[in-house]
């Protein structure tokens, strides 16, 4: 791994990936006086739109990587499925990378990731690798019912199937194309939480307040920050994130997703080696956002204060809002939304709305958590979001339809 040098404002930071996370990273970098060069195969990307330069090449294109290395002084990634070999190639060209290739590679295979998490001293759900037909035949009955997941490339609920027997596991494995998978035992969950941590090359860390996450159809629907869990449980979640970040020798922003079980048992689900959807609220709700923190880490600057300055609820905005009940195009009620107190709208600049496509998010702030939840309820109701009634100060933890079991 190349040593992280101090890069002062005016330097150019490289970014692999041109999606919305990269867009918000680029906006944070620009505010601090940095330029961003994006390597992204798709034209007119959300990140490229707000960056100094977009190199429209594939992530493993040698010429594209060379061009990025020539114009940037450090590089990061905005999503976990960028080839780890590309980060290694950039490091070989002398470009500091945050995170480094080995850390990203460890998160790109669920079997490798779970083994690494356990070696770091953090518990996971019971699981077993499925790579051959013989692995299915040898599965323990204790793992059923379970969820069969592809080892690579799955996200937002994709590449997953609930199975109740070896026969169902075999059918699901074959439907995935017989690729490497992992079978995880389904456990009764109270809720899902995430911890976003930033670590610099010197080993210093800054941890954000724990987020409480609720999903629909495998996609994050809303996040409550801080999570409505005990102080002891929040501290343990942050401790687990610290253990994992140090074990990875991680540099940059890392998200650790965890499940809370009965008895306040806590297990790690998976890692995201980048800023995370659940951390969007840090832009307004914390002294330093997760995106500014990524800039600081890769530029070799001191990490920022992660104190939460206002309770917040983040609502994901999907492309469904651009279609009415008859599936005809419509415009969401932005003017009415922006009349509401404490509401901050973020749209990602995507040209075409599609159902289930992440188009933006709304962060709702309050002077206390009850007010933030009440305002979020009103905003969600206006937008027609199906989970609006869950957002109430009188409600305790909710368990969503996609995250109620592992």
pLDDT in tens, 56-72: 999 999 999 999 999 99
In a domain, 216, yes or no: yes
Question: Do 143 and 157 sit in the same domain of this protein?
Answer: yes
Count CB atoms within 10 A of the CB of residue 231.
9
Per-residue model confidence (pLDDT) at position 200: 97
End-to-end C-alpha distance for the chain, whole angstroms: 35
In this predicted model, what pLDDT tens digit does every residue of 379-391 receive, in sequence order?
999 999 999 999 9
47's CB contacts (< 8 A; 6+ apart) are 15, 17, 18, 19, 20, 21, 22, 23, 25, 26, 36, 38, 40, 54, 78
- Full domain range(s) for residue 28: 12-97
pLDDT for the residue numbered 156: 59
Grade residue 155 by pLDDT with cuts at 50, 70 and 90.
Answer: low
Q: Which residue has the tokens 């009940």?
A: 325
* pLDDT higher than 90, residue 253: yes
Judged against a pLDDT cut of 60, whether residue 378 lies above it is answered with yes
Do 383 and 288 belong together in one domain?
A: yes
Q: Label residue 153 by pLDDT band (50, 70, 90).
A: confident
Average pLDDT, the chain: 94
Region 198-209: mean pLDDT is 97
Report, as an integer, the average pLDDT of 293-302: 97
Average pLDDT of 245-254? 98
What would the mean pLDDT of 167-178 be, rounded to a whole number? 96
pLDDT at residue 54 above 60?
A: yes
Higher-confidence position of 403 and 336 = 336
Domain membership of residue 396 (yes or no) is no
CA 114/CA 3 separation, integer angstroms? 28
Structurally, the chain folds into a number of domains equal to: 3
Q: What is the model's pLDDT at position 405? A: 33
Boundary-marking domain end, from 97, 118, 138: 97
For tokens 């979020």, name the residue.
376
The span from the CA of 405 to the CA of 217, in Å, is 13
Cα 385 from chain centre: 21
DSSP 97: B
Taking residues 117-129, what's their average pLDDT?
Answer: 97
Beta bridge pairs of residue 130: 181
Assigned domain for 106 exists:
no
């Amino acid at each position: 791994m190349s040593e992280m040098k101090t890069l002062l404002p005016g330097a150019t930071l490289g970014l692999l990936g041109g999606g919305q996370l990269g867009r918000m990273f680029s906006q944070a970098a620009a505010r601090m006086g940095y330029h961003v060069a994006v390597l992204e195969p798709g034209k007119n990307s959300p990140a490229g739109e707000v960056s100094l330069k977009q190199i429209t090449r594939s992530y493993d294109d040698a010429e594209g990587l060379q061009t990025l290395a020539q114009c940037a002084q450090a590089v990061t990634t905005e999503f976990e499925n960028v080839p780890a070999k590309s980060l290694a190639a950039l490091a070989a060209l002398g470009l500091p990378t945050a995170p480094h290739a080995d850390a990203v590679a460890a998160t790109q295979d669920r079997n490798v990731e779970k083994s690494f998490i356990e070696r770091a001293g953090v518990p996971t759900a019971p699981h077993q690798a499925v790579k051959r037909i013989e692995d299915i035949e040898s599965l323990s009955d204790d793992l059923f019912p379970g969820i069969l997941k592809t080892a690579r490339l799955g996200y937002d609920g994709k590449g997953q199937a609930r199975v109740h027997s070896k026969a169902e596991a075999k059918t699901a494995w074959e439907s995935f194309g017989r690729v490497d998978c992992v079978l995880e035992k389904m456990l009764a969950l109270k809720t899902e939480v995430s911890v976003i941590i930033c670590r610099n090359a010197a080993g210093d860390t800054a941890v954000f307040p724990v987020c409480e996450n609720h999903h629909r159809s495998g996609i994050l629907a809303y996040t409550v920050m801080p999570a409505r869990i005990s102080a002891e449980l929040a501290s343990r979640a942050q401790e687990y994130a610290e253990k994992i970040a140090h074990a990875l020798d991680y540099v940059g922003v890392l998200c650790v997703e965890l499940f809370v079980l009965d008895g306040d048992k806590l297990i790690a689900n998976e890692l995201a080696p980048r800023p995370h959807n659940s951390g969007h609220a840090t832009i307004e709700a914390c002294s330093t956002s997760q995106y500014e923190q990524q800039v600081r880490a890769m530029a070799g600057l001191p990490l920022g204060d992660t104190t939460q300055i206002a309770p917040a609820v983040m609502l994901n905005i999907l492309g469904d809002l651009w279609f009415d009940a008859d599936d005809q195009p419509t415009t969401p009620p932005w003017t009415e939304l922006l009349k509401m107190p404490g509401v901050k709208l973020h749209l990602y600049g995507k040209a075409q709305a599609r159902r289930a496509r992440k188009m933006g998010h709304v962060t709702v702030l309050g002077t206390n958590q009850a007010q933030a939840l009440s305002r979020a309820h009103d905003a969600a109701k206006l937008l027609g979001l199906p989970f609006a009634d869950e957002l109430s100060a009188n409600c305790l933890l909710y368990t969503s339809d996609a995250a109620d079991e592992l």
